[in-house]
Structure 1
């Protein structure tokens, strides 16, 4: 089973209302304070390339590009990389605690106990994912997962090729893989690679009204049964 995070295990509104502002306030600081960190250096190069900036662009222009992507909710890899680093510091400092729907953590524990391999595929960086699942209201959940995938290590979530990469990495046939997400484009991409899919529709969440197309639909993980 491969799980999305936002809108699936956790509220998109928590990410947008809590985590996004937290990162926005710290973009300039991390680009300046940790400019020699390899992930920050790589993100800076990517910002320059993707935003069409001059190679010697200053922090102010880099931040403007990041804020523009954030305002448009663009899943840009350098944005996600820097957010992951910022959030990791926030979780480590005790300033942040991740959010989960009430049914999510019990289901994750139940599936793990049943011997089901659990992976995460999120637009958030692997660094952000490990901070998220390592600092939950129910403690450290990282031991329950055997893999973490993001847009940098496998590709965009709306491309079938990304799911093919995950499938090859896990080493499991597509018909034995089940992907959960709230976004129909991601579900379509996984199905195009032969995966099983489940659309998660949480009433009140950001993309609820868009539906999940022709994919099987649940409102809670409590509805998932294996026979």
Structure 2
């Protein structure tokens, strides 16, 4: 069956891992304490702080303690949904202030534009929050790329290395799994997507192979019509 939709990862796939670890994470770690302190009573922030208390099993933690927990999670690169949501809020301020610009590889920009024009539906699935995903593509070095995408998925759809997560996304997209091409630089994610019935293609930008999956080092080498 022909590919109708393309689901892509961000880190290491459309965008450099170094942008996340060397730019976004340090920015969040620096600015998150003040942001949380200043906005702790704001509804959307308070909601995430309560989620941190639940996830850390510290229901009575004060704001200062919650900030300590969040900074620890950043250091561990924990894929915690409330952390991702709060990071997204901090990054939004940075993007709006012009202090941050989303990195997207030029070959990814060109391919995404070409695929969109060809009629493929494009979706994103990343461990970063949907808000953070929109910011990377909406405030990218190449301009606003969000019109290219039909939807975004994060860890609220499930862990990226579990097949059920991709089954959940398939239901949401309402396209047969065999007509969805998933792109990632992580073998375990590709394995999970394949187990859910999706077609897969690995990105190894430094060269090499992602075992048992078609592997390329650039979006320019991906032709969805050949899968």
Range class of TM-score, shorter chain: over 0.9
Partner of 1:136: 140
Partner of 2:78: 74
Alpha-carbon deviations, 1:170-193, whole Å to 9, x = none? Answer: 100010001001111111111111
Distance 1:213 1:45 in 2: 41
How far the C-alpha of 1:143 sits from its partner, in A, is: 0.6
1:184 corresponds, among 187, 199, 202, to 187
Distance 2:51 2:7 in 1: 28
Mapped pair 1:114 → 2:118: yes
Mapped pair 1:123 → 2:127: yes
How far the C-alpha of 1:31 sits from its partner, in A, is: 1.7
How far the C-alpha of 1:15 sits from its partner, in A, is: 0.6
1:212 corresponds, among 191, 210, 216, to 210
Mapped pair 1:50 → 2:48: no
Maintained 8 Å contact 2:104/2:137: no
Mapped pair 1:25 → 2:30: yes
Mapped pair 1:146 → 2:146: no
Mapped pair 1:198 → 2:196: no
Partner of 2:13: 8
Distance 2:167 2:47 in 1: 25
Alpha-carbon deviations, 1:26-75, whole Å to 9, x = none? Answer: 2222222222333312211121122222x231223212211222112111
How far the C-alpha of 1:198 sits from its partner, in A, is: 0.8
Deviating above 2 A after TM superposition, structure 1's stretches of 4 or more consecutive aligned residues are: 36-39
Maintained 8 Å contact 1:39/1:81: no
Mapped pair 1:61 → 2:65: yes
> Unpaired segments of 5 or more residues in structure 2?
1-5
TM-score scaled by length of structure 1: 0.92
Maintained 8 Å contact 2:178/2:198: yes
Partner of 1:159: 162
SS in 1 for 2:160: coil
SS in 1 for 2:170: helix
How far the C-alpha of 1:7 sits from its partner, in A, is: 0.3
Mapped pair 1:103 → 2:101: no
How far the C-alpha of 1:107 sits from its partner, in A, is: 0.8
Partner of 2:3: none
Aligned-residue RMSD, C-alpha: 1.4
Maintained 8 Å contact 1:11/1:99: yes
Distance 1:116 1:25 in 2: 39
